[in-house]
């Protein structure tokens, strides 16, 4: 590793002080600290620190997303990879531009946003739309609020919302029907067979997809959400390592199941079907649990989860939209600060009573 340290030391003057590329110092720092863990010492007590850092934290989300990612490659072909590359390039460009402008460090958050975003898009969406969407999401959903940690909305969902409103036709019809039989679409880049009905849309016309297909992902839908099994596996890992909060996930599922059961008169089959269909599980494990945009208090997390679950069921069953996870989570994001306020006030009262 000595050679790498030496090479970086040699290049550093170009990015510092009067160096030719001084404007790109954040980019250089990010590259350097990505490859070599920094050796910065602590300044004030405590002088020892936990090994967990934001890079590790975000890496956990990416690990949790792997099953969905692999499933999307299998079912929809290598074009997914192109979508991810475009998403990272466009989102990263906005992130870097703002870091350079603000003279701040580049944040790891976009590594997650950039990967989440293509997974919640129709797999046949034109690549330029992917780029425009993620750029909008990062710019408006995150950077204008002050960057990672200060955003009100989940940036990936802001980007998707923008596309859904701006290009409704592409966003509601660019589905690909998957291939279940081995080797899936692992051998091809993309396909021309564009179908138009996701299971939720088809269900409105009375065609119910088989439960087994929903579980494995043998249905059309957004790239990463079709396989309920993959979302479950990755999601459980994410909850187990403590990065996704179990309260949010459980509350969201309870809210959703309760209302869906109410609507369909407690038919277990239909409730399970609705749980596995669409982006519910993906949203519950990977989108609603985003710590920045969900409440910080435990009580807030319960209410927030319940709210998202209930609203998802409401949108699915009582509006013109077939899928409601995106809007429900964005709505939950709006409520998050208010919920925190309420639960903090309750907690402070308890602290005051204890004296």
Residues in contact with other proteins by CB under 8 A are: 1, 4-5, 33-57, 59-60, 105, 107-109, 146-150, 240-243, 245, 291-292, 294, 296-297, 340, 344, 347-348, 351-352, 354-355
Least Å from the CB of residue 51 to other proteins = 4
Least Å from the CB of residue 100 to other proteins = 17
* CA–CA dist 174, 164 (Å, integer): 12
Residue 5 vs 207, nearer CB to other proteins: 5
Residue 36 vs 186, nearer CB to other proteins: 36
Within 13 Å of residue 179, how many CA atoms lie on the same side as its CB? Answer: 16
Q: Within 10 A of 37 (CB to CB), how many other CB atoms are there?
A: 10
Residues recorded for the chain: 355
Residue 4 vs 144, nearer CB to other proteins: 4
Contact 55, 29 (CB under 8 A): no
Residue 65 vs 292, nearer CB to other proteins: 292
* CA–CA dist 279, 4 (Å, integer): 43
Contact 226, 123 (CB under 8 A): no
Residue 194 vs 344, nearer CB to other proteins: 344
Least Å from the CB of residue 235 to other proteins = 15
Least Å from the CB of residue 349 to other proteins = 11
138-170 burial, b for 16+ CB within 10 Å, e for fewer?
A: bbbbbbeeebbeebebbbbbbbbbbbbeebeeb
* CA–CA dist 344, 141 (Å, integer): 26
Least Å from the CB of residue 328 to other proteins = 20
Residue 175 dihedral angles phi and psi, to the nearest 5°: -90, 155
Least Å from the CB of residue 339 to other proteins = 12
Q: DSSP assignment of 115-149, as one string?
A: HHHHHTS-TT--HHHHHHHHHHHHHHHTGGGTSTT
Least Å from the CB of residue 48 to other proteins = 4
Closest CA to 328 of 256, 277, 267, 266: 256
* CA–CA dist 158, 134 (Å, integer): 9
Residue 47 vs 169, nearer CB to other proteins: 47
The token pair at 303 is: 């209410």
Least Å from the CB of residue 329 to other proteins = 16
Residue 89 vs 296, nearer CB to other proteins: 296
Residue 106 vs 203, nearer CB to other proteins: 106
Closest CA to 24 of 80, 111, 112, 96: 96
Least Å from the CB of residue 113 to other proteins = 13
Least Å from the CB of residue 316 to other proteins = 29
Residue 62 vs 215, nearer CB to other proteins: 62
Q: DSSP assignment of 279-336, as one string?
A: THHHIIIIITT-TTTS-SSHHHHHHHHHHHHHHHHHHHHHSS-S--HHHHHHHHHHHH
Residue 53 vs 213, nearer CB to other proteins: 53
Closest CA to 98 of 143, 43, 136, 58: 143
């Amino acid at each position: 590793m000595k050679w790498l340290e030496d090479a970086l030391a040699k290049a550093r003057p170009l990015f510092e002080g009067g160096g030719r590329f001084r404007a790109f110092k954040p980019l250089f720092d990010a590259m350097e600290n990505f490859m070599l863990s920094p050796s910065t010492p602590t300044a004030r007590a405590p002088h020892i620190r936990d090994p967990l850092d934001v890079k590790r934290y975000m890496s956990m989300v990416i690990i949790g997303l792997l099953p969905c990612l692999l499933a999307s490659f299998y079912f929809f072909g290598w074009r997914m990879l192109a979508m991810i590359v475009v998403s990272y390039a466009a989102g990263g460009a906005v992130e870097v531009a703002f870091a350079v402008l603000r003279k701040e460090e580049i944040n790891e958050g976009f590594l997650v946003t950039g990967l989440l975003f293509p997974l919640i898009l129709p797999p046949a969406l034109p690549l330029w739309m992917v780029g425009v969407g993620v750029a909008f999401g990062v710019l408006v959903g995150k950077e204008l609020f002050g960057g990672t940690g200060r955003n009100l909305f989940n940036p990936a969902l802001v980007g998707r919302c923008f596309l859904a409103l701006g290009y409704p036709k592409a966003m509601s019809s660019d589905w690909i029907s998957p291939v279940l039989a081995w080797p899936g679409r692992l051998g091809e880049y993309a396909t021309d067979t564009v179908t138009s009905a996701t299971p939720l849309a088809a269900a409105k016309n009375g065609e119910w997809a088989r439960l087994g297909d929903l579980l494995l992902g043998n249905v059309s839908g957004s790239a990463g959400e079709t396989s309920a099994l993959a979302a479950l596996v990755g999601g459980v890992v994410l909850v187990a390592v403590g990065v996704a909060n179990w309260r949010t996930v459980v509350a969201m599922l309870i809210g959703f199941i309760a209302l869906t059961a109410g609507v369909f008169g407690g038919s277990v089959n239909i409730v399970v079907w609705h749980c596995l269909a669409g982006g519910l599980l993906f949203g519950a494990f990977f989108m609603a649990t985003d710590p920045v945009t969900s409440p910080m208090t435990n009580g807030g997390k319960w209410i927030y989860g319940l709210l998202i679950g209930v609203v998802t069921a409401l949108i699915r069953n009582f509006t013109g939209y077939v899928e409601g996870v995106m809007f429900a989570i964005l709505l939950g994001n709006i409520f998050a600060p208010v919920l925190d306020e309420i639960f903090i006030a309750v907690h402070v009262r308890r602290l005051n009573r204890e004296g």
